[in-house]
Amino acid sequence: MVVYQHAAMPSIEYETPGALSPSAGPLPPLRQPASRTDRVRDALRQAILDGALPPGRALVERELAELYGVSKTPVREALKQLQSTGLVEINAYQGVSVRRPDDKLVRELYTARCAAEPDAVRLAAELHGAAAYPGARRALDEAAALIGSGETQGLGIANRRFHRELYTACDNSFLCGFLDQLQDLTAFVAGLGWRLRATFEEEAAEHTAILEAMEHGDAERAEQLTLAHIRKARRTLSDALGDDK
C-alpha cells in the first residue's frame, strides 16, 4: 500500500498505485461520475464541506493531480467549477485556496436567502395544502440520527437537503434555481459555524417546527418560521466568526 502525503494536504491511501481506496483518509475517495473533472470536483467539494480542507488551505494543481492520479487539466476545471459555487477563491497572485468566510459573506448570503426562501416555502404550502413531505422528513430523521451519534460530519448536507425538499415544492424554477446556487456555500458556512459553536440541536428543533407547519398546510406560519430560522442562523454565524478572530 502506498501513502501519498504532503504537508499542505491531508493524506489519502491507495491500495495500488493509481487505485483509490474506499477507506481513504480525510479526503474522500473519488467516485464514478461522468468525467475526471466531475470526480475531482466532487471529492474536493466533499472535503471542503466536511472540513478536511479548511478555509484558507492552498489548492495546488500539481499536488491535487498527483493525489487523485489525473492530469492538471481536470483539476483546473474542477477548481473553476468550485469557484462558481463560492467554495474556492482564485487569486492571480496568491493562487487558489478554500474560501475564508467573513461577516460580509455571511450577511450577503443570508440576506439573499431571506429574500427568496421564505417566499418559496410559503408558495409550496399554498400550492399543496396539508401534505406529506417524505423527502424532508427523511432528511430530518437523518440529521437527528447524526446528532444522536455524535457523527455530525454529514449534517450540513442533510440540512441542505431538508431545506431543498421544502423550497423546491413551490414549483417555481426561477426561485429554485437561485436557491440551488446558494446550497454549497450555505453548507460550507454553516459547517464552519458549527465547528466554532455547536447549534445543530437548536436548528433541528426549528426544522421540525417548519416541517410541521408545512404538513398542516399553514403557509403563513411556515414562511414566518423559515424567515426567523434563517435570520437566527445569520446572527449566530456572525457572532461565531467574530469570536474566532
Q: Could you give the domains of the chain?
A: 2-98 (1.10.10.10), 103-243 (1.20.120.530)
82 pLDDT more than 90? yes
Does this model's pTM top 0.85? My answer is no
Residue type, 243: D
State percent of the chain over pLDDT 90.
61
Give the pLDDT mean for 125-133: 97
Q: Which of 74, 73, 26 is nearest to 53 (CA)?
A: 26
Contact 115, 103 (CB under 8 A): no
Q: How far apart are CA 83 and CA 142, in angstroms?
A: 29
Residue 7: per-residue pLDDT: 37
155 pLDDT more than 90? no
3-state helix, strand and coil shares in percent for the chain, rounded to the nearest 5 = 65, 10, 25
Give the pLDDT mean for 141-153: 86
